[in-house]
Amino acid sequence: MCGRFTLTADLDTIQQAFNLTTVPAVLSPRYNIAPSQPIAIVTNEAPTTLSFHSWGLLPSWAKDPALANKLINARSETAHEKPSFRSAFKRRRCLIPADGFFEWQKQGSDKVPMFIHLKDSPVFALAGLWEVWNNSQGDEIRTCTILTTEANDFMQSIHTRMPVILAPADYDLWLSSAEEPVMALQSLMRPYDSGKMAAYAVSKLVNRPLNDTPRVIEPVH
Q: Is 161 exposed, middle or buried (0-12, 13-18, 19+ CB in 10 A)?
A: middle
Rounded to whole angstroms, the Cα distance separating 53 from 42 reads: 10
Rounded to whole angstroms, the Cα distance separating 87 from 42 reads: 18
> Of 45, 77, 81, 103, which residue is the catalytic one?
103
DSSP-assigned beta bridge partners for residue 60:
none
Whether the CB-CB separation of 191 and 150 falls below 8 Å is answered with: yes
Rounded to whole angstroms, the Cα distance separating 140 from 210 reads: 26
Rounded to whole angstroms, the Cα distance separating 186 from 115 reads: 27
Q: What is the dihedral of CA 50, 37, 142, 160, to 10 degrees?
A: 90
> Of 2, 94, 131, 180, which residue is the catalytic one?
2
Q: Would you call 2 a catalytic residue per the annotation?
A: yes
Q: How far is CA 11 from CA 30, 36, 45, 146, 207, in A?
A: 12, 23, 21, 21, 26
Q: What residue type is assigned to position 189 of the chain?
A: M
Q: Which strand (E) or helix (H) includes residue 118?
A: strand 110-118
DSSP code at position 172: H
Q: What is the dihedral of CA 81, 85, 87, 88, to 10 degrees?
A: -130
Q: Would you call 45 a catalytic residue per the annotation?
A: no
Catalytic residue numbers, as ranges: 2, 103
